[in-house]
A and B are shown apart, each in its own frame.
Chain A
Amino acid sequence: MLSVTEYDTIAAISTPPGEGAISIVRMSGENAISIAHQVFQGQDLTKVASHTIHYGHIVDPQTKQTLDEVMVSVMRTPKTFTREDIVEINCHGGIVPTNKILQLLLAHGARMAEPGEFTKRAFLNGRIDLTQAESVMDLIRAKTDRSMQVALNQLDGNLQHLIHHLRQDISDVLVQVEVNIDYPEYDEDEVTAKLLMEKALEVKTRIQQLLATAQQGKILRDGLATAIIGRPNVGKSSLLNYLLQEDKAIVTDVAGTTRDVLEEYVNVQGVPLKLIDTAGIHETDDKVEKIGVERSKKALAGADLIILVLDASEPLTIEDKELLEMTSKQKRIIILNKSDLPQQIKPEQLVASDVIEDPIVASVKDNQGIAAVEQEIKTLFFGGIENRQQDVLVSNNRQIGLLEQAETALDSVVAGLNNNMPIDLVQIDMTTCWEKLGEITGENAPDQLITQLFSQFCLGK
């Protein structure tokens, strides 16, 4: 199959890796603006003037989840570095939000830029002068060799194996479809819509499982974003201080995801937690009059895990109920704090507020019940994941982007089948899925399907 790479839209994080205050995700190519437009909430980027910068949010159009608050620069061809349309998304430092934004762009049709590719395009489009040409070539060669090495090292043997088998499964079906097309008079089994649908859904499930391990892998590396929330004075600070005590803190005082908010990293039973809005916790607890709920709302938007602290020595307030309801769809741990005082809230009472989890009764001040909290964090994170270490296979953005594109192609397969489209058309999307998976492992070879066709079927005069 043909690889047309020269004119597609490319994307990459263009600031050095690490925890800078600001990271920039850059896209270049004719679809740069339309891709950015799809994930940007703010002004209509397709209509803004060239060389302007715009405030807004990056929002995943599927999940409606807000990923980050950003400034987006739009620069239209030809007066740009690459002489193509360029969009630069200025987002907040951390690796996590930056990667998520990049992945979102990849899922929406951008391709991960090859090493030196922005510079290459700049040259090819006449932006860089002749004296620099040699160095561009050196750069491509050197960076490619190195990144090939890196890519190969990153390609887990298990992942390669898994994808190889996944592709084999798909190509078995593809080849069968091809046989039906090119040799209609032979009595080979016809691939039915039903069979193709089953195959598509099966492959989709397996891709989703791989993507799920990607999520686990990222959390292992980047930390589980955790928000401790609750009304003022319920004991959030004490819990935080406990978690931060001694050598438990890995990193402290890192400029965080929201501009004026701190995040801190702690290790709880092997689970790296990235605590969100720790500043807010102290503030709201210190200044009783501040509205804790409003603050909490913000914090829990970007959280993977919620720790909701309730003061069991007081009856449930409206605010408590509101917090319970707000977090009902998220992974959460509910702590009934202040067990040393007379209890006004019984665990059973929470059922009335539609709480299905068992709350943990604790007295953070006296270190009572905290071990149970830690155990629960561990269970929540690793629960349901067998052999977690071996399962974390997919790690880099390129792999994730390609898996997501493969998944999108499968969605088109399903949509096509639901629309009664002929198998040989639906096959186009199935083949795209197969090719995207092949890009992950570098397995795409010319005439691969045709070779399989003839080795598998007995055909011809």
Chain B
Amino acid sequence: MNLEVKQYDSHEYDVIVVGAGHAGCEAALAAARMGQKTLLLTINLDMVAFMPCNPSVGGPAKGIVVREVDALGGQMAKNIDATYIQMRMLNTSKGPAVRALRAQADKNDYHLVMKDVIENEPMLTLRQGLVNELIVEDGICQGVITATGARYLAKSVVLTAGTSSRGKIIIGELTYSSGPNNSLPSIKLSENLETLGFKLRRFKTGTPPRVDGNTIDYAKTEEQPGDKTPNHFSYETPDTAYLKDQLSCWMTYTNETTHQIIRDNLDRAPMFSGIIEGVGPRYCPSIEDKVVRFADKPRHQLFLEPEGRKTEEYYVGDFSTSMPEEIQLKMLHSVTGLEHAELMRPGYAIEYDIIEPWQLKHSLETKVVKNLFTAGQMNGTSGYEEAAGQGIIAGINAALRAANKAAFTLGRAEAYIGVMIDDLVTKGTNEPYRLLTSRAEYRLILRHDNADLRLTEKGYQLGLISEDRYQNFLIKKQAVDAETKRLQEIRIKPTEKVQAFMMAHHNSPLKDGILASDLIKRPGISYDEIADLVGAEDLQADRYVKEQVEIQLKYAGYIDKERSKVAHLKRLEAKRIPERIDYAAINGLATEARQKLTKIQPETIAQASRISGVNPADVAILSVYIEQGRIAKIG
């Protein structure tokens, strides 16, 4: 018997967030903390902030996003700081711009702590519900309708549906409709979005099998322990909280036998048999994909990562596969250290719908439906951090819209979040998008150590940073400025002690006096040593202040070069393109440029110049056309 579900009017909110993954949690918390009455709906309350794939947070570029989210008053950094089981600083042998933190998370703890924070956020309501439909009138989103018939009204709505959107799991010949980890998929919402005029496409991602840690032969693998030196993601987590008792990861390799098993069964691999239609990410290939594409590589690294303290499940990193279960078992058992491993969950591929991200503005509001925002995997990205970064921006803007205030956006020179969103809305993406340091033009400015200096002020203005935290931030900022200035004024004379110091550091002796700020630029000389030479004033022993001073002075030459590029960019960003510009009316634009501009609708001249197929002559003509209109208006 199929009865029709009767709809009923439920509550009214300022902001509704659909989906409680890493994007949805940040969006809902930001909106609520900005004073908006917020509803967070999720298909399954037991999957709030769930990690369906790797049990880790951070890494190059991604780790910087986590700190950016923190500086804007988001939750991800604090949540991982409360639930990690291992912490590592990566790229320590490299420059300051590319250092990054990565933590292994206790998956279940991560979920529980985030859920607890959400439940205790005053303006936020968490509820289980599957959204089937948006309420849209005159192109403006007014609310949502759930499968149980509840109609919720709101001033703005954020969608973060992730891989649930018409999700389909694939394991060998087996396919079934499902969200991540066998959860309920969201089918009707996708259909509704298409009806509303959104252009969707299919993406694919995958996850590796999990094995029982009791059955791993660790002696045959390499141990990867956590760091002894304390570090955390959040600027508010003190070093004293650092976890001493960390769990290790373990490294092993595939071998020729593994590869042969894969090659022998390629006809059963959905990636090659034609079952998978979605586009998968190049940077996150399945093991079968790796073996085919890099046929001459004799082995591939694998990482065995614990999923938590109270579970024996281990994530077999870099072994993502959608082979039939039978083959997965053979593949696993061919790997050194996993000969007797018991499979706990098979790996799978999942196909899902995304919204082509060029349909969005930098605020993450859709161009198709007003007051509707989207974030996370739904926008074509991959990764928890990328999702969180978009989530907080979407949440902030949904709140601002509900309060009738102007949108908040971040530029490419301000944050990795800005780079990511600009890439998405300007270029779209042909595969699940992952942040890489090489996507940022100004990575020396977008460091993980200065995310607070870049963004805390903005977070404070938005009402997401507490007064206490802001005051502490100002103290740190002043300390950095004062110490930098002091070193720029102290002249170090070539005394005997100084010359001996130079010799000890394999530097040529000084001929003349030299400013402390210049001496620190010499190879191998650290802030502490300079401070020792000139006598450290009361520095409050804050290692973050010291770190900042050292980086800002030592790499000043490179930083200044990037700053001057940024200054140019800022001026181009300031040239806004009117919203209802008619590109067909502009004589002289090349056909391709006209099509691309019409499709993307760039917001500034700078953005227009980044669209592929729009060449400098087109940008010049566009500038002239806009200026013409401006003069006409004045005249």
Contacts and interface: CB of A to CB of B under 8 A. Distances in A.
A140 B627 contact: no
Interface stretch (A76-84, A162-170, A451-459): A451-459
B175 interface: no
Contacts of B319: 461
Nearest to A187: B301
A424 B303 contact: no
A423 B95 CA distance: 7
Contact of A134 (B53, B522, B587): B587
A6 B436 contact: no
Interface string A1-19: 1111111100000000000
A383 B26 CA distance: 71
B255 interface: no
B524 A421 contact: no
Interface in B86-137: 90-91, 94-98
A421 B438 contact: no
B588 A181 contact: no
Contacts of A134: 587
B441 A450 contact: no
Interface in B276-297: 281-285, 290, 293-294, 297
Interface in A212-250: none
Contacts of B91: 181, 184
Interface string A175-209: 00010111111110000000000000000000000
A141 B617 contact: yes
B231 to A, nearest CB: 15
Contact of A428 (B285, B561, B612): B561
Contacts of B521: 419
B625 interface: yes
B605 A182 contact: no
A50 interface: no
A181 B572 CA distance: 30
Contact of A4 (B427, B562, B565): B565
B609 A3 contact: yes
B318 interface: yes
Interface in B146-166: none
Contacts of A446: 427, 610, 612
A447 B436 CA distance: 11
A459 B300 CA distance: 9
Nearest to B434: A460
Interface in A378-428: 416, 419-425, 428
Interface string B292-322: 0110010011010000000000000111100
Given A123-B624, A124-B623, A185-B303, A460 B617 contact: no
A460 B285 contact: yes
B60 A460 contact: no
B563 to A, nearest CB: 13
Contacts of A126: 627, 631
Contacts of A2: 412, 441, 569, 606, 609-610
Given A114-B620, A137-B625, A7 B297 contact: no
B628 A130 contact: yes
B509 interface: no
Contacts of A326: none
Given A425-B558, A449-B438, A458-B293, A140 B94 contact: no
B3 interface: no
A300 B520 CA distance: 47
Contacts of A424: 94-95, 97-98, 437, 443
Given A2-B610, A460-B285, A144 B60 contact: no
Contacts of B587: 134, 137-138
Contact of B624 (A137, A187, A459): A137
B187 to A, nearest CB: 28
A436 interface: no
B318 A423 contact: no
A137 B283 contact: no
Interface string A117-151: 10010011010011001101110110010000000
B345 to A, nearest CB: 15
A269 B598 CA distance: 61
A6 B438 contact: no
Given A4-B568, A140-B620, A461 B284 contact: yes
Given A114-B617, A423-B94, 11 more contacts: A6-B568, A6-B572, A181-B91, A181-B438, A182-B436, A185-B303, A425-B444, A450-B439, A458-B290, A461-B317, A461-B319
List 5 A-B pairs, minimum CB-CB distance, nearest first: A422-B95, A420-B523, A454-B282, A460-B284, A144-B617
30 contacts: A2-B569, A2-B610, A6-B571, A6-B623, A117-B620, A123-B624, A123-B627, A124-B623, A124-B627, A133-B631, A178-B438, A181-B98, A181-B438, A182-B437, A419-B523, A423-B94, A425-B97, A425-B555, A425-B558, A428-B561, A446-B612, A450-B439, A453-B436, A454-B282, A455-B282, A458-B294, A460-B283, A461-B284, A461-B319, A461-B320
